Amino acid sequence: MSTFAFFQALQNSEIAVGIGQSNHLYGVVAQVFHITGMVLILASVLVVNLRLLGAGLVNQSVPQLVKATNPLIWIGLLFILFSGIFMFAPSAALYYPNPAFWLKFQLLALAIVVQFTLYRKITATKKPNRALAITTAIISLALWFGVGIAGRAIGYVAA
Amino acid sequence: MTPTDFLQKLQDSTLGVALSESIYMYPIVEGLHLISLVFSFGLILLTDLRLIGLFLPAVPVPDVLQKLRPWLISGFVVTFITGFLLIFVNGPTLMNTWVFPLKLLLILIAGLNAVWFEIKFGRRVNEWGHQVKSPQGAKIAGWISLTTWTLVVICGRLIPYLNGH
């Protein structure tokens, strides 16, 4: 099955049709959870990356900040995943031709890869190499904020 | 002059027209408004969670407040400036729904809460901020802040659905 066919099948599924026909205010609830999830993830990643850059909560160690923000990142991911599926499913096939949609998910894939490799490695060290810390922070922030910007662009970019 | 008239004047102004006529300005301004929420809404959530005792409870409150403050303030500056610009562009339709005045009222309440916290607790934070538990009033301010700013975001998201667009 091609990707497009899969998107169409998803859009035509009973659940997706049900969501699509529901009161539009449910969509608003989904969007609010999506925004809140994004803010939780990004604020957490921001605090840790600022620390890697030598700014913000400088009296705390990087591992300490990672430990404190991890629960917030998980909650944010939960919010964003469920609300994202809720918003995506009823219009899946409509998103297919949207370049901003694909850009967002490519950036997201990169952000997640960096999060579990470079970011995880650098933040586990109590005194990471300065240049590596700064590089990691820049890449992590650029990718995550890129996801947010691309995500917002989806609504603006004509398919 | 009614609020609607005032908003019409803003929309008809040079700035309002320039913003409305540009293809890119609205997405840029709104996008910046949303992204800045990470710095304003996000960092205030972390600050409130610290006051409540749920985030970095072992770290002294003054540490969290003072170190995050410049980022928090900058975040709010960008959120407010972009917010004002959005008012210019959206104009009188904002008054088609009660959600917009409610949003402004909630922002005022959040602001008053912040001022109250600052006067009553913030200035003396070094006296109480090193204990394990924050004073009850500080915790309450944290909860009020968290709740009102979340409601502000919800109202903001509701505007385009209820203003007749």
Q: State the ipTM, two decimals.
A: 0.92
Q: What is residue B165's predicted lDDT score, i.e. its pLDDT?
A: 58
Mind telling me how many Å the CA of B46 is from chain A's nearest CA?
A: 8
Q: What is residue B69's predicted lDDT score, i.e. its pLDDT?
A: 95
The number of distinct structural domains making up chain B is 1
Q: State the residue for tokens 């850059």.
A: A53
Q: Does B111 touch chain A (CB under 8 A)?
A: no
Q: Residue A84 falls within a domain, yes or no?
A: yes
Q: What does the block give as tokens for B95?
A: 């008054």
Mind telling me how many Å the CA of B1 is from chain A's nearest CA?
A: 33
At B112-126, the pLDDT tens digits run 999 999 999 999 999
Q: Residue A123 falls within a domain, yes or no?
A: yes
Cα dihedral across residues B3, B7, B12, B13: positive or negative? positive
Q: State the residue for tokens 């990643």.
A: A45
At A94-117, the pLDDT tens digits run 999 999 999 999 999 999 999 999
Reference B102, options B90, B113, B94; nearest CA is B94
CB contact under 8 A, B38 and A47: no
Q: Does A146 touch chain B (CB under 8 A)?
A: no
Closest-approach residue (CA) in chain B for A33: B154
Q: Are the beta carbons of B162 and B96 closer than 8 angstroms? A: yes
The number of distinct structural domains making up chain A is 1
CB contact under 8 A, B35 and A148: yes
CB contact under 8 A, B43 and A43: yes
Range of the domain at A35: 3-154
Amino acid identity, position A3: T
Q: CA separation (Å) from B121 to A27, B46, B65, B88?
A: 39, 18, 12, 37
Q: What is residue A24's predicted lDDT score, i.e. its pLDDT?
A: 86
pLDDT at B60 over 90: yes
Which chain B residues contact residue A57 at CB under 8 A? 56, 59, 63-64, 67-68
pLDDT at B87 over 80: yes
| A-contacting residues in B 118-157 (Cβ below 8 Å) | 150, 153-154, 157
| Average pLDDT for B62-88 | 96
From the list A39, A60, A65, which residue is nearest B38 (CB)?
A39
Check residue B40 and report its DSSP letter.
I
| Average pLDDT for B42-52 | 97
Q: What is residue B114's predicted lDDT score, i.e. its pLDDT?
A: 96
Q: What is residue B20's predicted lDDT score, i.e. its pLDDT?
A: 87
Q: Does B43 touch chain A (CB under 8 A)?
A: yes
Q: Band of the pLDDT at B132, cuts 50, 70, 90?
A: confident
CB contact under 8 A, A156 and B27: yes
| Residue to test with chain B: of A42, A57, A140, A154, most B Cβ within 10 A | A57
Mind telling me how many Å the CA of B112 is from chain A's nearest CA?
A: 23
Low-confidence ranges of chain A (pLDDT < 70): 158-159
The length of chain A in residues reads 159
Range of the domain at B98: 3-162
pLDDT at B31 over 60: yes
In chain B, what percentage of residues exceed pLDDT 70?
A: 99
Decide which of A128 and B77 is more confident: B77
The length of chain B in residues reads 165
Q: Residue A159 falls within a domain, yes or no?
A: no
Q: What is residue A159's predicted lDDT score, i.e. its pLDDT?
A: 53
